[in-house]
Amino acid sequence: MKKRLLFCFITVVLLCATLTISALADDTVKLGIGIVDATGLRLRAAPDTNAEVINSAYQDDVVVVLADYGEWYQVIYNLDVGYMYKEYVIFKAVENADLGEATVNCPLVNLRAKPDSGAEQLTQLEEGETVHIIGLNNGWYKVDYITVYGWTTGYIRSDLLDLTEVPPYNTDYSYQQSIAQELVNYSMNFLGVPYIWGGETPNGFDCSGFTQYVFEAYGYDLDRVAQDQMYNNGTEVSKSDLMVGDLVFFGGTYVSNETVTHVGIYIGNGQFIHAASGGVKITNLSHDYYAARYVGARRII
């Protein structure tokens, strides 16, 4: 009878491991931690720049790297599984990072003293028990677990835990987007303010004086001139990935051989608000004059 029960238990454990592997990736022992090195890095449904955007990550957010797909990583970001462009993710196989709570996904797992299947067993956890993940070490989660003796730190193989909480120090994307929308709404208060060369107050703005003034109201310090805002502030973003609140830049608008001479704020629906001849106004990016002079965009928020 005991042998039969043991056989059933082993069968359940093996089945659990098999289901876990098929649920997320070919190998659910996680590769490592990724640290986002950009503002507004898109999490996409497939490793393709045209794929659906699932979420957007910000500078220094952490992701769990599941697999390597050439120029892309498959990752878990804020509990969503998707793909991030590898160029903007700093990969670390060993890293301390607060990933929040996770639950055991198999009937019984070992908490070990080191990230090794042969290391000392500190205790055993049952399915559904909760731990707090504080790092990842070569495929093993480093965790804090509360016992009758207090908190114990150890290691559990990463395919045996399911993340259940957004990492507490990651960016709240919806909050960032609401701030960007507030900033754009605020910028609309200045529609019609006259254009003045060198102007940087509501009495009159030039293009970069306008963007600097608006962003300063929300605690963001921009350089004074358009060229410096382009090269020194925020992170680069492609035209296809523009989001509300991004800065958009143009060249040759008054000096034909200058690379960056004009800047505005993207407000969505292919439009931007800017200080130009005739005062602060809204223009379509598809406008022939500006479409021909578009040189790039930067994400500040």
Q: Which residues are catalytic?
A: 207, 262, 274
Distance CA 261, CA 293 (A): 10
Q: Which residues of 67-106 are buried (b: 16+ CB within 10 A; e: fewer)?
A: beeeebbbbbbbeebbbbbbebbeebeebebebbbbebbb
Count of residues in the chain: 301
User: Which among 79, 152, 74, 78 has a CA at the least distance from the CA of 111?
Assistant: 152
Q: Which two tokens stand for residue 45?
A: 């449904």
Q: Which residues, listed in sequence order, are joined to residue 8 by a DSSP beta bridge?
A: none
- CB-based contacts of 78, cutoff 8 Å, min separation 6: 55, 57, 166, 167, 170, 173
Residue 291: which residues within 8 A CB-CB, separation 6 or more? 285
Bridge-based pairing of strands 94-104 and 161-163 is antiparallel
Please, are residues 23 and 116 in contact by the beta-carbon 8 Å criterion?
A: no
SS3 219: coil
Q: Are the CB atoms for 158 and 148 separated by under 8 Å?
A: no
Taking each helix axis as running N to C, give the angle between helix 207-216 and helix 173-187, from 0 to 180 degrees, rounded to the nearest 10. Answer: 130
Element containing residue 281 per DSSP (H, E): strand 279-284
Task: Specify whether the CB–CB gap between 249 and 262 falls below 8 A.
Answer: yes
DSSP code string of 71-97: TEEEEEETTEEEEEEGGGEEEESEEEE
